[in-house]
Amino acid sequence: MKIGTFQIQSLTTVAAVYFLIVVGGLVSSTGSGLACPDWPLCYGQIVPPLTPNIVIEFTHRLWTIVVTIFVVLTMLFAWKKYRWPHKVTAFATLTFVLLLSQVILGMITVLSGTEPLIVTAHLALAILVFASALTTTVASLTYRRRKG
Protein backbone atom coordinates (compact mmCIF):
# COMPACT_ATOMS: atom_id res chain seq x y z
CA MET A 1 0.00 0.00 0.00
CA LYS A 2 1.52 3.27 -1.16
CA ILE A 3 0.52 6.62 0.31
CA GLY A 4 0.93 9.40 -2.19
CA THR A 5 -0.26 12.93 -2.72
CA PHE A 6 -3.80 11.89 -3.62
CA GLN A 7 -4.15 9.73 -0.53
CA ILE A 8 -2.93 12.58 1.71
CA GLN A 9 -5.41 14.96 0.03
CA SER A 10 -8.21 12.43 0.42
CA LEU A 11 -7.38 11.75 4.09
CA THR A 12 -7.30 15.49 4.76
CA THR A 13 -10.76 15.72 3.22
CA VAL A 14 -12.01 12.92 5.48
CA ALA A 15 -10.60 14.70 8.55
CA ALA A 16 -12.17 18.01 7.48
CA VAL A 17 -15.57 16.37 6.98
CA TYR A 18 -15.29 14.69 10.37
CA PHE A 19 -14.48 18.01 12.05
CA LEU A 20 -17.46 19.60 10.30
CA ILE A 21 -19.74 16.90 11.75
CA VAL A 22 -18.27 17.52 15.23
CA VAL A 23 -18.89 21.27 14.91
CA GLY A 24 -22.42 20.50 13.65
CA GLY A 25 -22.96 18.44 16.81
CA LEU A 26 -21.79 21.41 18.83
CA VAL A 27 -24.31 23.61 16.98
CA SER A 28 -27.12 21.20 17.92
CA SER A 29 -26.03 20.56 21.50
CA THR A 30 -25.71 24.27 22.31
CA GLY A 31 -28.94 25.28 20.59
CA SER A 32 -26.99 27.51 18.20
CA GLY A 33 -28.82 26.34 15.07
CA LEU A 34 -30.91 29.50 14.84
CA ALA A 35 -28.23 31.91 16.07
CA CYS A 36 -28.08 33.01 12.43
CA PRO A 37 -31.73 33.01 11.31
CA ASP A 38 -31.00 33.67 7.63
CA TRP A 39 -28.85 31.90 5.07
CA PRO A 40 -26.15 32.13 3.73
CA LEU A 41 -25.43 35.37 5.59
CA CYS A 42 -25.99 35.93 9.29
CA TYR A 43 -28.35 38.78 10.06
CA GLY A 44 -27.69 39.90 6.50
CA GLN A 45 -23.98 40.36 7.22
CA ILE A 46 -20.85 38.62 6.02
CA VAL A 47 -19.30 39.09 9.47
CA PRO A 48 -22.07 38.98 12.09
CA PRO A 49 -21.98 40.18 15.69
CA LEU A 50 -19.82 37.68 17.56
CA THR A 51 -21.93 36.30 20.38
CA PRO A 52 -21.05 32.77 21.57
CA ASN A 53 -23.93 31.03 19.74
CA ILE A 54 -23.30 32.98 16.53
CA VAL A 55 -19.60 32.07 16.67
CA ILE A 56 -20.52 28.37 16.93
CA GLU A 57 -23.05 28.50 14.08
CA PHE A 58 -20.89 30.71 11.90
CA THR A 59 -17.85 28.45 12.46
CA HIS A 60 -19.96 25.58 11.12
CA ARG A 61 -20.84 27.61 8.03
CA LEU A 62 -17.27 28.80 7.42
CA TRP A 63 -15.86 25.31 7.89
CA THR A 64 -18.38 24.09 5.30
CA ILE A 65 -16.62 26.34 2.79
CA VAL A 66 -13.27 24.77 3.70
CA VAL A 67 -14.74 21.28 3.36
CA THR A 68 -16.25 22.17 -0.01
CA ILE A 69 -12.82 23.26 -1.26
CA PHE A 70 -11.26 20.00 -0.04
CA VAL A 71 -14.01 17.89 -1.60
CA VAL A 72 -13.76 19.70 -4.95
CA LEU A 73 -9.95 19.37 -5.00
CA THR A 74 -10.17 15.68 -4.14
CA MET A 75 -12.70 15.13 -6.94
CA LEU A 76 -10.58 17.05 -9.48
CA PHE A 77 -7.42 15.17 -8.47
CA ALA A 78 -9.32 11.87 -8.74
CA TRP A 79 -10.48 12.73 -12.24
CA LYS A 80 -6.92 13.62 -13.22
CA LYS A 81 -5.24 10.61 -11.63
CA TYR A 82 -7.77 7.80 -12.11
CA ARG A 83 -9.95 9.01 -15.00
CA TRP A 84 -13.40 7.57 -15.62
CA PRO A 85 -14.73 4.99 -15.06
CA HIS A 86 -12.95 4.14 -11.86
CA LYS A 87 -14.25 3.51 -8.36
CA VAL A 88 -12.01 6.23 -6.86
CA THR A 89 -13.38 8.79 -9.31
CA ALA A 90 -16.93 7.57 -8.77
CA PHE A 91 -16.73 7.88 -4.99
CA ALA A 92 -14.97 11.26 -5.13
CA THR A 93 -17.73 12.52 -7.44
CA LEU A 94 -20.41 11.00 -5.21
CA THR A 95 -18.88 12.82 -2.23
CA PHE A 96 -19.18 16.11 -4.12
CA VAL A 97 -22.82 15.46 -5.08
CA LEU A 98 -23.70 14.44 -1.52
CA LEU A 99 -21.98 17.54 -0.15
CA LEU A 100 -23.94 19.80 -2.50
CA SER A 101 -27.12 18.11 -1.32
CA GLN A 102 -25.95 18.58 2.27
CA VAL A 103 -25.39 22.31 1.77
CA ILE A 104 -28.92 22.66 0.36
CA LEU A 105 -30.30 20.66 3.28
CA GLY A 106 -28.33 22.89 5.67
CA MET A 107 -30.06 25.92 4.16
CA ILE A 108 -33.44 24.20 4.55
CA THR A 109 -32.53 23.33 8.16
CA VAL A 110 -32.01 27.00 9.02
CA LEU A 111 -34.99 28.29 7.03
CA SER A 112 -37.30 25.64 8.56
CA GLY A 113 -36.46 26.82 12.06
CA THR A 114 -34.49 23.63 12.77
CA GLU A 115 -37.43 21.28 12.25
CA PRO A 116 -36.35 18.02 14.01
CA LEU A 117 -36.96 15.75 11.00
CA ILE A 118 -34.88 18.03 8.76
CA VAL A 119 -32.11 18.28 11.38
CA THR A 120 -32.05 14.47 11.55
CA ALA A 121 -31.87 14.21 7.76
CA HIS A 122 -29.06 16.80 7.81
CA LEU A 123 -27.06 14.62 10.21
CA ALA A 124 -27.80 11.44 8.25
CA LEU A 125 -26.62 13.03 5.02
CA ALA A 126 -23.49 14.30 6.80
CA ILE A 127 -22.68 10.70 7.74
CA LEU A 128 -23.10 9.68 4.08
CA VAL A 129 -20.72 12.46 2.99
CA PHE A 130 -18.19 11.20 5.54
CA ALA A 131 -18.64 7.58 4.45
CA SER A 132 -18.23 8.49 0.78
CA ALA A 133 -15.10 10.54 1.47
CA LEU A 134 -13.68 7.68 3.53
CA THR A 135 -14.52 5.16 0.79
CA THR A 136 -12.71 7.37 -1.73
CA THR A 137 -9.60 7.18 0.43
CA VAL A 138 -9.83 3.42 0.98
CA ALA A 139 -10.42 2.82 -2.75
CA SER A 140 -7.33 4.88 -3.59
CA LEU A 141 -5.23 3.00 -1.05
CA THR A 142 -6.24 -0.38 -2.48
CA TYR A 143 -5.83 0.67 -6.13
CA ARG A 144 -3.48 -1.50 -8.16
CA ARG A 145 -2.39 -0.56 -11.65
CA ARG A 146 -2.73 -3.23 -14.31
CA LYS A 147 0.55 -4.49 -15.63
CA GLY A 148 1.11 -4.89 -19.32
Q: Using a CB cutoff of 8 Å and minimum separation of 24, what contacts does 127-135 make?
A: 127/21, 128/98, 129/17, 129/95, 129/98, 129/99, 129/102, 130/14, 130/17, 130/18, 130/21, 132/91, 132/94, 132/95, 132/98, 133/10, 133/13, 133/14, 133/17, 133/71, 133/74, 133/95, 134/14, 135/91
Quick check: is 115 catalytic? no
Which among 57, 109, 110, 133 is annotated as catalytic?
Answer: 57
Task: Point out which residues pair with 42 in neighbouring strands.
Answer: 45
Output DSSP code: residue 58.
H
Distance CA 90, CA 28 (A): 32
Enumerate the active-site residues: 57
